[in-house]
Amino acid sequence: MKNYSKIFIAATLVAVFAAGYFAFTRGNAETLSNPLAQQDASTTRTVQVSGAGEMQVEPDTAVVRLGVQTDADTAQTALSQNNRKMQALINSLTDAGVASKNIQTQTIRLSPRYDNGGNNNDQTLVGYTASNVVEVRTSDLESLGSLLDDAVKAGANTIENIGFEISNSENLTDQVRQAAVENARHKAEQLAKLTGATLGPVLEIQESSRTPSPVIEQAAAPAASSAAVPISPGSQSISVQVQVTWSLKVNGE
């Protein structure tokens, strides 16, 4: 009996010791898996800055809508006369160096004209009006005034709009975007250096841009003159803003 008691006591001590060891190791495991400790260890240091780029660009293309309007007693006469005048106008444009592919018909209209004599209920047909409008594109802005003056002399009596565009705006926007990113990087590198860190990989980029849209100017009804029409295309702005987030590498880490 005494031997059995000793064995039982020894087994009990071993079991208690094992339970205590298990509790100790389990407690350590819980401490290592603490979410707060993991969060501190995995926190990424970042720097977020904005950068901007802008460029003033002079338009290099003009878009003009001009045409001919003709009144006559009959529809056939109005249309026939209008066709002859429009052909003379197109010939004037091609003689001025405008390629045929850059002359595009926009509208052709034939409508009756009435005279109601002051009485809306009593309308009298007095004739017809034919009109034809073409859109003309040219990159020779220096000669645009002379081109319009020649067009009027050839028979154009309608100028609807004059617009100015930038033909290579996409390539110019790429240059401005590059400048915006370089501006952002310069700021981020300076901030990192001032705080004893260096830039790591880019984590996020956001961009907003403003590219020029065609500038449309209303044109007054033309009048034949010996002087070329004065034209001033001005300039347009291309701008890009970026917001970039870099990770930071702290010296010594």
Question: Is position 221 within any domain?
Answer: no
DSSP 43: P
Question: Is position 34 within any domain?
Answer: yes
Question: Is position 128 within any domain?
Answer: yes
Q: What is the per-residue pLDDT for 223? A: 47
Is there a single domain that holds both residue 117 and residue 22? no
We report the CATH number of the domain holding residue 198 as 3.30.110.170
Q: What is the per-residue pLDDT for 213? A: 61
DSSP 227: S
pLDDT tens figures, 101-118: 999 999 999 999 998 766
Question: Buried (b) or exposed (e) across 125-163, using 16+ Cβ within 10 A?
Answer: eeebbbbbbbbbbbeebeebeebbbbbbebbbbbbeebb
pLDDT tens figures, 43-64: 689 999 999 999 999 999 999 9
Q: What is the per-residue pLDDT for 33? A: 36
Is there a single domain that holds both residue 134 and residue 51? no
Is it the case that residue 68 has pLDDT exceeding 90?
Answer: yes
Q: How far apart are CA 182 and CA 53, in angstroms?
A: 9
Q: How far apart are CA 152 and CA 67, in angstroms?
A: 9
- Give residue 74's domain range: 61-165
Pairing of strands 103-115, 124-138: antiparallel
Q: Could you give the C-alpha distances from 49 to 46, 192, 197, 225, 247, in angstroms and in order?
A: 10, 11, 15, 57, 12
Is there a single domain that holds both residue 203 and residue 147? no
- Percent of the chain at pLDDT above 90? 61
Q: How many domains does the chain have?
A: 3
pTM metric for this prediction: 0.63
Is it the case that residue 220 has pLDDT exceeding 50?
Answer: no
